[in-house]
Amino acid sequence: MNFWEELRVAYYDMVELKVSLGYNEGTYRTSHILPFVEYCSQVFPSAREITKEMLDSWLKKAVFRTENTRKHVIINLRHFTRYLNATGRRAFVPTSEYNVKAQRYRPYIFTDQELRLLFDAIDDIKPCPRSHVEWIAPVLFRMELCCGMRPNEPLNLLVEDVDLATGDIFIRKSKRGKDRHIIVSEDMRLLCAKYDQLAGKRKWFFQHWEGGIFPVYWARDKLTKAWMKTGRMENIIPRPYDLRHNFATRTLMRWIDEKRDVMALMPYLSTYMGHVTLEETLYYVHLLPERLKSSPGIDWDMLSGIYCIEEGFSNEDYRPDPIWQNKNFLQRISACCSNRKPQHYYIVPLYSEYLFRISAECMPTKAARGDIR
């Protein structure tokens, strides 16, 4: 076994160790560590250690989707090189000079027409006898939009996690290792049932043709290609995560339009989306400031300090206020919200039905009827 083969084995050993310590396996499976090792093995075949020169050479060649992606790649490479040093191999550990300043991604909020065009393109994906993407994509992306799921969550579902009789989905060990149950709308349940009949016997709900799960980048690629077919703005490429953002903001907007007590319902949206703190859910407030300003369902004495929402404020002017980091302030919000109760448990799935209808309006002979090809 040569040096580079040893590093490949070391990578899988590190992932196994991290998982045993409670870390999310997906974090390291998509971490660019193996591409880095492959690059070095080809450009520096006789090397016996990882050097700064190798890292600099690879970073000049590598293409990252965003600066945040680059930041996480450096973090994961730092973990890997430290692991190599700890197990008797020599490796350069990226220093602070490689740190990348985090940039908060601005979610893309689709219009109703854009959603219709996008899902029309998704439902027209060319059939593939190996991956059956024509069955998977319409269900997968509606699940992310209508249920607010993180991109990796539907991909990690076992068949047994989806109760097709009740519409209950069990999400295992998602962000920070948390489990949760969500209830889907009746339309979504029927679509999942139709897909399940077509997919047949398998372990994973969305199963890769080799028997495992699809990587997140596979789904991102399919969504990007579908978006390009819509003929919309080419300089904006929405991510699968934007479907989750749209679920949250549209749910809030409908609550506001219906003059519901948003403060009372916020903890339920937070739980449904798998947020650990209410702060994570309140992040979506800044995406619809004008609607919030006229809402009687929001306690402005509490929320006005979270974001600088003033006269003339727009999404483009958004800047987090320092009070966002004030734990006492957030605790007061949590205490206020926890003392209120919504009228019924299925409040969030009801709004999923609205999103499902938008995504299905343009294809009455396909997914709207459950007629996946």
How confident is the model at residue 85, as a pLDDT?
94
Q: Among the listed ranges 70-74, 184-188, 234-238, which one has the minimum average pLDDT value?
A: 234-238
Q: Which CATH class is domain 106-373?
A: mainly alpha
Q: Among the listed ranges 9-23, 273-287, 314-328, which one has the minimum average pLDDT value?
A: 314-328
For CA atoms 312, 316, 322, 324, give the dihedral sign.
positive
pLDDT at 371 over 70: no
pLDDT at 230 over 50: yes
Across 47-70, average pLDDT: 88
pLDDT at 322 over 50: no
Q: Among the listed ranges 115-119, 127-131, 281-285, which one has the minimum average pLDDT value?
A: 281-285
Across 190-213, average pLDDT: 92
Mean pLDDT of the chain: 78
Nearest CA among 202, 219, 274 for reference residue 30: 219
pLDDT at 168 over 80: yes
Could you give the percent of the chain with pLDDT greater than 90?
34
Contact 282, 337 (CB under 8 A): no
**Higher local confidence (pLDDT), 17 or 323:** 17
Which residues on neighbouring strands pair with residue 158, listed in sequence order? 204
Domain boundaries, given as residue ranges, for the chain: 3-98, 106-373
pLDDT at 40 over 80: yes
Which burial class, exposed, middle or buried, applies to 306 when counting CB atoms under 10 A from its CB (0-12, 13-18, 19+)? buried
Q: Among the listed ranges 11-25, 62-76, 96-110, 326-340, which one has the minimum average pLDDT value?
A: 326-340
Sheet-wide strand order for 162-163: 162-163, 168-171, 180-183
Other C-beta atoms within 10 Å of 291: how many?
16
**Higher local confidence (pLDDT), 285 or 272:** 272
